[in-house]
Amino acid sequence: MTRKTAKDFHPEVLRLFDKYVHGIIPRRDFLKSATKFAVGAMSAEVLLEALSPKFAAAQQVPPGDVRIKSEQVEFPSPQGYGKVHGLLVKPAKATGKLPTVLVVHENRGLNPHIEDIARRLALDGFIAFAPDALYPLGGYPGDEDKARELFPKLDQAKTREDFVAAANALKTLPEGNGKVGVVGFCYGGGIANFLATRLPDLAAAVPFYGNQPKAEEVPAIKAPLLIHYAGTDERINAGWPAYEAALKAAGVRYQAYFYPEVQHGFNNDTTPRYDEIAAKKAWQRTIEFFNTHLRA
């Protein structure tokens, strides 16, 4: 079966799906509005299923890959939910201390795609930790719709402190080199921006299509930034001019890339919004950026 891409869907269907996955509209509203674009056997339900993640088909690094070591770990988070829980992955045959990367998921918790991202980083010679913000509510439920329903129930102030605690834990990890970077996607991109404003010793931050911090918070950023945006992502891109102006005014080191004609979520290879060319280029830049700023 030929893999569907964003070009196989009407632009309005893609806009509706973006609203749905970000909790702006409920499932019933997506189905009602998408019905007008359903043709033949392609009902609104079928459209939604076609746009939804296919984790197994996109997996690049199996959990049992002998080149990596993976384990579920917990770190204390006294200002957050008490403890932060997630997947820690490292190269199996690492020698010497390695740089560490915090991997922050989208608004569905630690799903199989983000676990795979952490394993990919390990293959590139990093220690990666991917926390699950939904852990205090029972963890990622194995269902994207249920995960989206759970996410608004989190106390975001506590959740943000959990990510702060995770980054601080990586800094003191015995097998780490003391340098911590963060990469985040969508919600996680916003967290990457937040951590850059919060942690003066953060060594590098890579937000993918994430919400920008307030302008008054930007002068606190000390880490270099590598920022990825999707060309058609009007919702997120609307915040860029003010963010860029604040970055320039504060003298923050940053690189920003807009990938033309691609959708929000273009790096997520489990859905049709994935764009192979843009994703590979953005990921290559990300690894090079981390190699530059995180290795001694």
Q: What is the pLDDT of residues 113-128, one digit of tens each?
A: 999 999 999 999 999 9
* Model pLDDT for residues 2-58, shown as the tens digit of each residue: 678 999 899 999 999 999 998 899 999 999 999 988 876 678 999 999 999 999 988
b vs e for 129-166, b when ≥16 Cβ sit within 10 Å of the residue's Cβ? Answer: bbbbbbbbbebbbeebeebbebbeebeeeebbbbbbbb
- CB contact at 8 A, 85 and 131: yes
Q: Which of 40-54, 74-88, 168-182, 198-212 has the lowest mean pLDDT?
A: 40-54
pLDDT at 1 over 60: no
Pick among 3.90.1170.50, 3.20.20.100, 1.10.40.30, 3.40.50.1820: CATH of 56-294: 3.40.50.1820
Residues 6+ apart with CB under 8 A from 223: 196, 199, 202, 203, 204, 205, 293
pLDDT above 80 (res 179)? yes
Residue 132 is among the residues annotated as catalytic for this protein: no
Contact 182, 205 (CB under 8 A): yes
Query: What confidence tens digit (pLDDT) does each residue in 60-71 have?
Result: 999 999 999 999
Domain boundaries, the chain: 6-52, 56-294
Q: What is the pTM of this model?
A: 0.95
Annotation marks residue 186 as catalytic = yes
State the catalytic residue, choosing from 186, 228, 275, 293. 186
- Determine the Cα–Cα distance for residues 143 and 114; give it in Å rounded to an integer: 14
Rounded mean pLDDT of the chain? 95
Instruction: Tell me the pLDDT tens digit for each residue of 190-230.
Output: 999 999 999 999 999 999 999 999 999 999 999 999 999 99
233 is catalytic: yes
By CB atoms closer than 10 A (0-12, 13-18, 19+), residue 40 is exposed
Name the residue with tokens 């919400």: 211
pLDDT at res. 41: 66
Place of tokens 């676990």: 115
Lowest mean pLDDT among 8-12, 231-235, 257-261, 266-270: 8-12
Active-site residue, from 18, 162, 233, 275: 233
Q: What pLDDT score does 42 carry?
A: 76
| Active-site annotation holder among 264, 269, 275, 293 | 264
Q: How many CB atoms lie within 10 A of CB 261?
A: 12
pLDDT at 211: 97
Among 228, 260, 283, which Cα is nearest to 101's?
283
- Determine the pLDDT at residue 200: 97
| Pair of tokens at residue 213 | 């911090």
